[in-house]
Structure 1
């Protein structure tokens, strides 16, 4: 007997699964384990390059593979709760500012900023994380009603995760249009099964064959890719030249920072990002490090060493990167803002004619997050968060009333960020944080510390609300309980506070941050804008390039946004301003490895991926990323106990972390 390829959603059987339990101990525990690994991985890579990943799709895949050790396999709904918990645990390094905000505070100077460097103790980092860890979580339930239920925004990553979960668990692929969710019925007769229906999806692949492939080959691919990446990481620790290969010669490496890091983890990240994104980053690398860096140095605008963030070319092109990020974020958010205003005006002017609005909610009240939870949770998180920020930084850091305004701004900006994420799959949290910085330069001028903290509060809210919204989109398609996902987010955030604070404290004790091994590039972005808003001083001639590149990428972003809204095939190939700017922030070594990964992803889907949807490649890429992230913990322990490198051979260019510079 063959399994029908076209199947309708069986509401009755699905409800039985839900009543049997989806917020289970095993789902949450497995999600926390995977999330802790992602937390270390994201902190490691975030401090190196300023870029982290939600890894929701990878969490669902790894969770499915690990659940094979259980007596009974996890259900689709349990897998959704699992990956929601994992994402909440794994993204705290960005949400709480460990990869940018805290390193930026450590770079403060009394003469220039009016404040000495701020290095938080472990307890203080826990307090700071608690202050910003939950506000965005309570913002998500009311936003879900609008963007997922009413507007049905696509949320591409959330939809892709739902489709993968369906394939893994041999359930019907969800209808991503969501137009007929209420009409899905069980297959009562064979004749019904043969009737065509607009909700049926032909994927071209048999889900059972797909699952068999993952079960038989998934563990093998994940294991060897993990081991290979881990071995490369240990090799780079003991022989640092592997971290920074002078591929183009020692002169270009020493004088202009052109090296190559043959990291399997960065290749894996490139695979996950995709070829269009890595191509945008590479274009930024070529323009920033191949043209603007030599131009600023040779013209005398940045006379210091190229790697110097104050007087060197790296610090000079940083400002161009900041202008591109802000321009791209503002332009990409403009359609979102105009649409919100238009909708509100339409509802206001046509309210008397619209009548009663149909409720499109498909979940019952007992599976939703009650409104009173949202109100009380938001109020408590703001009050407690304000008190904690005051206890950590004091009145000299930021006034309590200013912190409250920061939370309110975070709530408003989160709406814009979530809508941008739903439409473009990009949450412009860095740009939203900069908007908050601009606002606080007006209401609390001259206070660099307050400016940075206010931006961090806004970024945290937007980041968490966006992460949970992607997960809620997955849950909506799979029919997982929003309340169960909410629980998972809260629990994951609680554990991640301790895990992230501990990991960051260990890194700061073992390494110089920012430093050769962990440059923390986004820290200079945060501090640089705060100083600019206070002093107004820019490096020579950088203002002209900032305006020029800002205007250019404003136009590019407008074209990209317009094309994406109309689903033009070439939209993804239009350079992303944020990715282009990241190419400025990171030295070429990291970008080159990611470009290799993006190219592999492109070739794979052109030549092989159509046969199995690319799941095997996702498994390998996940193993690459997790391998270096997890083994970096071993490197951290070795460094803490004073076990150093074996040989500094080949490190004459002075760019090898761990070797005497």
Structure 2
């Protein structure tokens, strides 16, 4: 029986947990998941093009799905809620998985004189073809990886575990069993000490913003109170967004004066959505980001400008300070990701050597770890046929979209192979540390293609995107599968949700990107797409070998510093000392370089709010009020941005450019 036949069969009667009469894969769960996922898709594309940072939003999807399900005649079961949030995540994260926030804008930045090829701007149908090429490979990779990292190795996946804990609270279930029956000293059951903030490190730019929430000691927030908090936060953020569209100064306040705003890009964006994202990220992550902002924009930017290393305007990505510090940011991200992977690779090799020595007892234990029956698992035949079909389809579509001059078919095959290998490393790192180092993994693929297809910038970027897509998607879906494992949801039901969500998101993401491209210049003032410059800059460096003046020395110094910090963090995360979460995140630090100060400052406000709330306001337990408000803030701006897009498309401009003398106001002539 084919996968799609089973989907049609089960969507009517629903997959049911063993020994119960409760359905899991149901029409309401799938439809609500798709609805929430579409909202997340627009939201993630909007913020991804602005900042390079998107959110997996699995916890928010589960929360919003639960609240909406209270309005249905028959409330959803916990397992249905998991199918809902799995479908939503698969739909909402396609802007990053398919490279709409980095790869496609990077191709649009190509310069024929410098790169030998003109800019590539994909049509809607070409964007759909590219998305189809990379949309399903990670989905079919997830079942075998699940068996390895969730069932056999029982890695913790903190964010997936946190979502399971929240769902157990919402549905008034006993807390999920997070004890690990294996000989690994790095993981302990997730607990939150008195007064702790309950957050784990988050992954920026080329991964997800996620948060962990320990089950509250008290009863969950009342349904009516939850709805009101979500509604008012959504409305407040939406009003703020529309106000900023008609009066751009609202989101471009020259906090330190017009001179610093105009000449050095120091402004403040009091976006409620940015604040909500800061709440979700947590104080440690936003602190790392703002430390990076201070070093990058407060020290290195003026240094490079006054030393003559970056003579152009500060905001110029080619000859200005912003383009100069980009290289230091790239060095930090690569060093952090590479060092973070070393313990994962070492452990992987050690386990493989143990297998070869024939540890029969360990193999017997592994065989007994699976708790699901065969009819609830994804058959191996589906995985093999699906992987084969998705690779063949991907090769064909990439060739049709980019042609032989873009990337050779055999090179696309290598990209998928790299994606499979890097997915295993990325998922293992994510499972241990809650950080998916896909930024570094994509750069590894770029390094390989600089050797096997030298001089071809388009192939370098596309191959990196193919490899990164698999690693990113497999990581996102593994968090959901960990949630399902703890709540005893059917992996097959989640697999169906992943397929459906990914399929719909191909059209939604391509359409949204096409609309934004018609209304705005991408990259441009409104949507700078900072990660596009990272992809293109590395591709150019690997081809030409030329760095801006003196940047190589600073890249080396910062790479060594953050390589050492990443090593310390990897060690600390596995030993769980109290100070582990306060060790700076290299990737978050680098994001502070990539984006202007306005991006980081507002998120710091959210991080401080989260810290104070859990230290001063909620002292005797944890509740979900703040998460509900933060979710409303994020969704409000993301959804209302579609209204702004429609207004811009029909030529409705700003009402007043009062106060925009610094030239940073989106939509004003001076900008």
TM-score by length of 2: 0.92
For 1:57, which of 53, 56, 59 is the aligned residue?
59
Q: For residues 1-150 of structure 1, what are the structure 2 equivalents within 5 Å?
A: 15-17=18-20, 19-150=21-152
Q: For residues 517-556 of structure 1, what are the structure 2 equivalents within 5 Å?
A: 517-556=526-565
- CA–CA distance in 1 between the matches of 2:472 and 2:129? 19
Equivalent in the alignment of 1:283:
291
Equivalent in the alignment of 1:8:
none
Equivalent in the alignment of 1:223:
231
- CA–CA distance in 2 between the matches of 1:340 and 1:276? 29
Equivalent in the alignment of 2:4:
none
- CA–CA distance in 1 between the matches of 2:61 and 2:363? 44
Equivalent in the alignment of 1:481:
490
For 1:315, which of 318, 323, 327 is the aligned residue?
323
Structure number with bigger Rg: 1
- CA–CA distance in 2 between the matches of 1:494 and 1:355? 37
- CA–CA distance in 2 between the matches of 1:507 and 1:353? 57
Q: For residues 605-620 of structure 1, what are the structure 2 equivalents within 5 Å?
A: 605-611=614-620, 613-620=622-629
Measure how far apart 1:223 and its partner are: 0.5
1:643 is paired with a residue whose SS is coil
Deviations 1:198-233 (A, max 9, x none): 99999999979523x241310010000000000000
- CA–CA distance in 2 between the matches of 1:68 and 1:263? 30
- CA–CA distance in 1 between the matches of 2:366 and 2:256? 63
Q: Is the 8 A contact 1:132 1:460 kept in 2?
A: yes
Q: Is the 8 A contact 2:91 2:502 kept in 1?
A: yes
Deviations 1:80-138 (A, max 9, x none): 00000000000000000000000000000111111100000000000000000000111
With over 3 angstroms needed to count, the CA separation of the structure-2 counterparts of 1:244 and 1:563, relative to structure 1, is same
Equivalent in the alignment of 1:416:
425
Measure how far apart 1:347 and its partner are: 1.5
More displaced 10-residue stretch of structure 1: 608-617 or 30-39: 608-617
Q: Is the 8 A contact 1:95 1:133 kept in 2?
A: yes
Measure how far apart 1:612 and its partner are: 5.0
- CA–CA distance in 1 between the matches of 2:468 and 2:296? 26
Q: For residues 464-503 of structure 1, what are the structure 2 equivalents within 5 Å?
A: 464-503=473-512
Q: Is the 8 A contact 2:236 2:633 kept in 1?
A: yes
Q: For residues 142-541 of structure 1, what are the structure 2 equivalents within 5 Å?
A: 142-179=144-181, 210-211=219-220, 213-351=221-359, 356-359=364-367, 360-541=369-550
- CA–CA distance in 2 between the matches of 1:102 and 1:252? 32
2:316 is paired with a residue whose SS is coil
Matched, 1:598 2:607: yes
Q: Is the 8 A contact 1:173 1:201 kept in 2?
A: no
More displaced 10-residue stretch of structure 1: 319-328 or 425-434: 425-434
In the TM superposition, structure 1's runs of 4+ consecutive aligned residues that sit over 4 Å from their partners are: 198-209, 351-358
Which consecutive residues of structure 2, in runs of 5 or more, have no partner in the other structure? 1-15, 183-187, 195-213
Measure how far apart 1:324 and its partner are: 0.3
Q: How many residues align?
A: 630
- CA–CA distance in 2 between the matches of 1:207 and 1:109? 54
CA RMSD between the two structures? 1.9
TM-score by length of 1: 0.93
2:405 is paired with a residue whose SS is helix
Which consecutive residues of structure 1, in runs of 5 or more, have no partner in the other structure? 1-12, 181-197
Measure how far apart 1:354 and its partner are: 6.2
Deviations 1:389-447 (A, max 9, x none): 00000000000000000000000000010011111111111111000000000000000
Measure how far apart 1:243 and its partner are: 1.6
- CA–CA distance in 1 between the matches of 2:550 and 2:618? 47
Equivalent in the alignment of 2:207:
none
